[in-house]
Amino acid sequence: MKKGKSTSVKPQQERARKQTAANTVSDDGQKSQLRRKEEFFKALIENAMDAMVIINRDGTIRYKSPSIERVFGYKVGDDIGRSSFDFVHPDDMSNGSRVFAGLLKKPGSTTHYEIRARHADGSWHTIEVVGKNLLDNPAIEGIVANFRDITEQKRMQEALANSEEHFRALIENSLEAMAIVNREGLLSFLSPSFERLLGYKLEEHMGKNPFAFVHADDLPRVFSVFSDLAREPGAVAQSELRVWHKDGSLRIIEVVGQNLLHNAAVNGIVANIRDITERKQADEALKHLYQQERELRGQLEQEMKKRVEFTRAIAHELKTPLTSLLASSDLLASEINTEPLQTLARNIRQGATNLDSRINELLDLVRGEVGMLELKLEIVDLLQLLGDVADSMKPVASRRGQSLESMLPPSLPPVRADPTRLQQIVANLLDNALKFTPLGGNVRLGAKRKDNEVVVEVRDTGRGISKEEQQSLFQPHHIPKGESSEGLGLGLALCKMLVELHGGKIWVKSSVGRGSTFGFSLPLESVDRQAIEPKEPTKLWKVLIIEDDDAIVNFVRLAFKMRWPEAELISARLGEEGLDLIESEKPDLVILDLGLPDIDGFEVLRQIRLFSSVPVVILTVSSDEVDMVRGLELGADDYIVKPFR
């Protein structure tokens, strides 16, 4: 009996043991599952980009998630029990306290706000806070706040806002107007400048046809340009057109359009519009002025040409008889040995010489006024030149009972000048001084270096010149008041022109009763440059042959090539063509045929001598002595008869 009872108890115990073991396994599984969940949420919290803080009812910090260090730089265990408001920016404290107080009053409620908080490095960051009241939740019993650092986001937003404001201000204050035409061909945007440009209120045209104010005559062209532009994404087109201003006036505008229909931000054709009415009017006025200037210049050139031709003709008419007069007076003076006939012959010779000088002065002045007077510059020993001119003028002073003194320094720097023209200037000033200095008077020639120029002065003891008279002293045809005219009044005007062609200045210092001092300056800079600059290569001399026979031209060209290869030979078949080439090419030698197709060779020579002193060699078949004499009288330098070697 006992044995059987014992047997029945053991199975019960085994079952109980197994049940207990099963329950233990079940509890372990639940605990393991719970640990996994805890680890899962812990990993989420620790690796979240946002930081989490649990705040007690009094605002103290009870818990901080590990991500707090990544977001704000603070350690997890630091600052527990410290007031959360210790980290809030002073300017945001009032708003933060108000939001927190409101959240405390509403269990289970959630709030969202932005606030500035201090980072561990001391800087202020803008954070986005989502707070929830879980004070009534036994597991939390606090305010759960999730923090996200949005400092960079705020900076980007502010930068974008500033950028938008910047471009909005540019567009609104631009002198150009901007319009956008949508896919339907209607205005979807107009900048405020549109009202300034055409006078219309924006609402008057917004959403309407953009071509309503275009001039009817320009519409077909505008439609064509717009249609082409609309078909090609990204294309740019520019056009000028006339539009009606609201005040009824017609304005000219320049439009630059770009197809941005493919751009989702624009979705239209953008047109930049500029009012160019004043500019076009100014252009038209300028064109009109240019046309007037061209016409006036043409008229002036014609007048100058007429003046030059008239002066040439006068000079020719005067010089032709003067040539024989000079030759005859020379011959007469050499043949007569008795007085008073010899004196008469000398007087005739002197009168003819004076007349020749006046004609030359007149021609020089005219050439200078029209820009045809040229200088042949070279390095000149100024001291020697001044001494020579003074010596040549001393007999003139002596005959007039005057004294001419050369008050020159021991040395003067050389100058770059035309020696012939320089002699002409000095001789003219000396002659002028002697002319207006009374019997027994004194004239002095002096010179000195002053900085980068040389100054030459002629001082006399004449009657002097008033300030009023000095104003027109260097004008052509000016003759001092109260003086008898011994010329055309061109001497001082020509001196001024020649001095200025040399890059110098001329002046007078005088007062009535105290004599006069005429002076001029010559620059030395060109001489200094000549000393340091490399020497120019040997000049390639230019020879012009006026000849209609090609065989002769070719032979002369070959002869020059063989014997004078550095020379340049140019040719003209006609006399008129040759005259033009002399003026434009400035040849060093002219070979002239007398039998030309258009005008007589003698006439060509006559015209050459009216404006140029270029050496001329006549090359002709005529061996008549009369033609030779005529050619040489007209100014030829030599006469060669064909055939020649």
pLDDT band (50, 70, 90) for residue 444: very high
Sequence-distant (≥ 6) Cβ neighbours of residue 617 within 8 angstroms? 589, 590, 591, 592, 636, 637, 638, 639, 640
Residue 409 and residue 522 in one domain: yes
Residues with Cβ within 8 Å of residue 481, at least 6 apart in sequence: 469
Of residues 324, 351, 430, 346, the one with CA closest to residue 385: 430
Q: Which of the listed residues 207, 242, 275 is the one where a domain comes to its end?
A: 275
Work out the pLDDT band at 613, boundaries 50, 70, 90: confident
Residues 382 and 456 occupy one common structural domain = yes
Most confident of 47-56, 153-162, 507-516, 530-539: 507-516
pTM score, whole prediction: 0.40
Of 37-46, 298-307, 308-317, 531-540, give the lowest mean pLDDT range.
531-540
Q: Of 557 and 383, which is predicted with more confidence?
A: 383
In a domain, 389, yes or no: yes
Among residues 553, 560, 501, 495, which one has the least CA distance to residue 526? 501
Please tell me whether residues 549 and 625 are part of one structural domain: yes
- Apex 329 CA angle, 324 and 335, nearest 5: 125
Nearest Cα residue to 267 out of 189, 326, 211, 195: 189
Of 119, 151, 183, which residue sits at a domain end?
Answer: 151
Tokens of 452: 């980068």
Comparing 72 with 25, the larger pLDDT belongs to 72
Q: How far is CA 451 from the centre of its chain?
A: 33
Residue from 138, 128, 134 nearest 57 by CA: 134
The span from the CA of 55 to the CA of 561, in Å, is 112
Cα separation, 426 vs 389, whole angstroms: 7
Residue 1 domain-assigned (yes or no): no
Q: Is the pLDDT confidence value at 291 over 60?
A: yes
Give pLDDT, residue 50.
79
**Position 214, amino acid:** V
319, 352, 368 - which closes a domain: 368
Q: Is the pLDDT of residue 460 over 90?
A: yes
pLDDT band at 529 (very low <50, low <70, confident <90, very high): very low
Indicate whether 490 and 385 sit together in one domain.
yes
Q: What is the pLDDT of residue 26?
A: 58
Residue whose token pair is 């002399």: 582
Statement to judge: residues 388 and 520 lie in one domain: yes
Domain span at 182: 174-275
Domain co-membership, 318 together with 206: no
CATH of the domain at 299: 1.10.287
Residue range 14-65, pLDDT digits in tens: 766 766 665 655 566 666 766 676 666 566 566 666 788 888 989 898 888 8
Phi–psi pair at 224, nearest 5 degrees: -65, -45
Whether the per-residue pLDDT at 537 is higher than 70: the answer is no
Q: How confident is the prediction for the chain on average, in pLDDT?
A: 81
**Cβ atoms within 10 A of the Cβ of 605, count?**
23
Q: Is residue 139 situated within a structural domain?
A: yes
More confident residue, 336 or 581: 581
The answer as to whether 412 is a domain residue is: yes
Would the pLDDT of 287 be above 60? yes
pLDDT at 535: 44
Average pLDDT over residues 426-436: 90
Tell whether 426 and 482 lie within a shared domain: yes
Half-sphere exposure of 483 (CA within 13 A, CB side): 19
Task: List, for residues 165-191, the tens digit of each pLDDT value.
Answer: 655 655 555 667 888 888 888 888 888
- What pLDDT does 276 receive? 86
CA–CA separation, 53 vs 64, rounded Å? 5
Poorest-confidence range of 152-156, 266-270, 497-501? 152-156
Q: Which residue has the tokens 């062609």?
A: 501
316 and 253 within one domain: no
Residue 143 shares a structural domain with residue 52: yes
Q: How far is CA 202 from CA 164, 178, 187, 213, in A?
A: 21, 11, 10, 14
- Amino acid present at 639: Y
**Residues 391 and 434 both lie in one domain:** yes
Mean pLDDT of 488-497: 79
- Does residue 158 lie within any of the structural domains? no
pLDDT-derived band at 528, boundaries 50, 70, 90: very low
- The DSSP bridge pattern shows strands 142-149 and 124-134 to be antiparallel
Distance CA 193, CA 178 (A): 7
201-245 confidence digits (pLDDT tens): 877 778 888 888 889 999 999 889 888 888 888 889 888 889 888
User: Is pLDDT at 2 greater than 50 in this prediction?
Assistant: no
Q: Are 384 and 408 in contact (CB under 8 A)?
A: no
Least confident of 207-216, 254-263, 343-352, 441-450: 343-352
CA distance 415 to 526: 8
- Whichever domain contains 622, its CATH number is 3.40.50.2300
Domain co-membership, 399 together with 524: yes
Report yes or no on 268 lying in a domain.
yes
- Specify which residues 620 forms β-bridges with: 641
pLDDT at 312 (0 to 100): 66
How far is the C-alpha of 526 from the C-alpha of 567, rounded, in Å? 27
On the question of pLDDT at 85 being above 60, the answer is yes
Percent of the chain surpassing pLDDT 70:
82
pLDDT confidence bin for 480, thresholds 50/70/90: low
Asked if residue 423 belongs to a domain, the reply is yes
Lowest model confidence (mean pLDDT) among 124-133, 161-170, 396-405, 560-569 = 161-170
Can you tell me the mean pLDDT for 313-342? 74
What average pLDDT does range 495-511 have in this prediction? Answer: 91
Host H or E run for residue 354: helix 341-369
Q: Please tell me the total count of domains within the chain.
A: 5
Note the pLDDT tens digit of each residue in 332-348: 777 888 888 888 887 88
Distance in angstroms (rounded) separating the CA atoms of residues 592 and 605: 8
The residues pairing with 443 across neighbouring beta strands, listed in sequence order, are 404, 460
Query: Cβ distance 257 to 269 under 8 Å?
Result: yes
pLDDT-derived band at 296, boundaries 50, 70, 90: confident
pLDDT at position 456, please? 95
What are the tokens at 194? 């549109």
CB atoms within 10 A of CB 332: 16
379 domain residue, yes or no: yes
Q: What is the CATH number of the domain that holds 509?
A: 3.30.565.10
* Cα distance between residue 494 and residue 480, in whole Å: 16
Residues 6+ apart with CB under 8 A from 230: 259, 261, 269
Q: pLDDT at residue 554 above 50?
A: yes
**pLDDT attached to residue 443:** 94
Q: What is the CATH number of the domain that holds 196?
A: 3.30.450.20
Q: How many other C-beta atoms lie within 10 A of the C-beta of residue 11?
A: 9
* Distant-in-sequence, close-in-space partners of 363: CB < 8 Å, separation ≥ 6: 311, 312, 315, 610, 611
Tell me: pLDDT of 546 over 90.
Answer: yes
Residues 233 and 304 in one domain: no
Mean pLDDT of 578-590: 90
Query: 438 or 560, which is more confident?
Result: 438
pLDDT in the model for residue 45: 60
Distance of CA 554 to the CA centre of its chain: 48
